[in-house]
Each structure stands twice: as C-alpha cells, then as structure tokens.
Amino acid sequence: MPTLKVTNRDAAEKLAQTFRAGKVAIFPTDTVYGLGCILEEKALRKIFKIKNRPPDKPLPLLIADLDEALSLAYFSPAAREAATKFWPGATTLVLNSRKELPSWVYRNGKVALRIPNHPFLREVIRRLGQNIVGTSANLSGEEPAGSVAEISAKILAEVDLVIDGGDIPGKASVVYDYTGPKPVIIRT
C-alpha cells in the first residue's frame, strides 16, 4: 500500500482521488488515525470487514463545514450551540437525520457527524465535494492509533493508501447524542 506524508504537496489530491475511485484509505485527523471512504457500498463493506466491526454499528460522517451538517441533520438549539462551540474539533454529534442515508451511516433515523479540526482533511473533503465516512483505523474494541506505526499490519495490508501525518493525540472524539430532549454523552 502506498504511503504519503501529509506534507507532500500531492497528498490531498491523491487521497481525494483514492476516495473518488471508491477505495479505502488511512489518514490523520485531529484525534486519531482514521479509516475512511466515500459512501460507496463496496468500500463501506471493506471498512466493516477490515475493522471486524459489527454490522449494526453505523459509521460517522466527516464533513467540512456547518452548512453541510445543517443539510444532513436537524439541530435543536442545544445541538446548534454545541456545534458552534466544539466544531471544528474532537466532538461527534449524533443527530436526527433530515433524510434517509445508507444504513452504513444511518440507523433509527440518526446520523453521527463531525467536523475535524484538521485543515488537510477538511481540504480533502472540500476537493471531493462530498462527505467521507471516518472511523478509527483499528480493529473494533482495540485502542485507536496516534501514529501510523500503531496501526496493525492487518489493517495496513488491506487499505489502498496511507497518509502519514506524524504523531497525533490518539484519543477518540467525544460523542454526544442530541436526538432526545436532553443531550446524552455516549463516549468521553
């Protein structure tokens, strides 16, 4: 699998091309190394297989800006305040979806969204003109990776491209569910 440094001037375009081709890649975020693709069934199936992720656990969407989030989900005043306060950043919001999405990212009318505080990744999403699925680049149940060296060889062997952004925090995003009358913390 090819590996590029995030500092390589062609890295953003190469990652966007990989996603456009319906392939799976590893990339740095502001929290952990991500494993992602566009909303393309073959690539989504591959992510579930690579991670050994239960099929009933939908994947979050990484988006570039609040306008995109507002087009995808309903925001209560409290959710809107949280988005304004925490985005871009290490917070994922579970919201009621405005539309039915593929079951890989949508369950019981809900969708999980995050705007990462990583300019490189947001640039890739803008270049694509569409959101990407972004989950941690680890086997389900294992600790997330803060460097490419921490990613299992099994996962590295299965992806089409790796973007190396050096060491990052290695702590997953906080997840809040804003689909009920009061926000609920799902993961801290």
**pLDDT tens, position by position, 49-63:** 999 998 888 999 999
pLDDT of residue 130: 94
Tokens of 149: 């060296």
Q: Classify burial at 181, counting beta carbons within 10 Å of its beta carbon; exposed 0-12, middle 13-18, buried 19 or more.
A: exposed
CATH number of 3-187: 3.90.870.10
Whether the per-residue pLDDT at 149 is higher than 90: the answer is: yes
Whether the per-residue pLDDT at 1 is higher than 80: the answer is: no
Whether the per-residue pLDDT at 14 is higher than 90: the answer is: yes
Q: How confident is the prediction for the chain on average, in pLDDT?
A: 95
Mean per-residue pLDDT, 32-39: 98
Mean per-residue pLDDT, 32-55: 95
**Amino acid code (one letter) for 54:** P
Domain ranges of the chain: 3-187
Whether the per-residue pLDDT at 45 is higher than 90: the answer is: yes
pTM, two decimals, is 0.95
Whether the per-residue pLDDT at 2 is higher than 90: the answer is: no
Query: What whole-number distance in Å separates Cα of residue 48 and Cα of residue 9?
Result: 30
At 154-171, the pLDDT tens digits run 999 999 999 999 999 999
pLDDT of residue 123: 95
Place of tokens 């953003």: 12
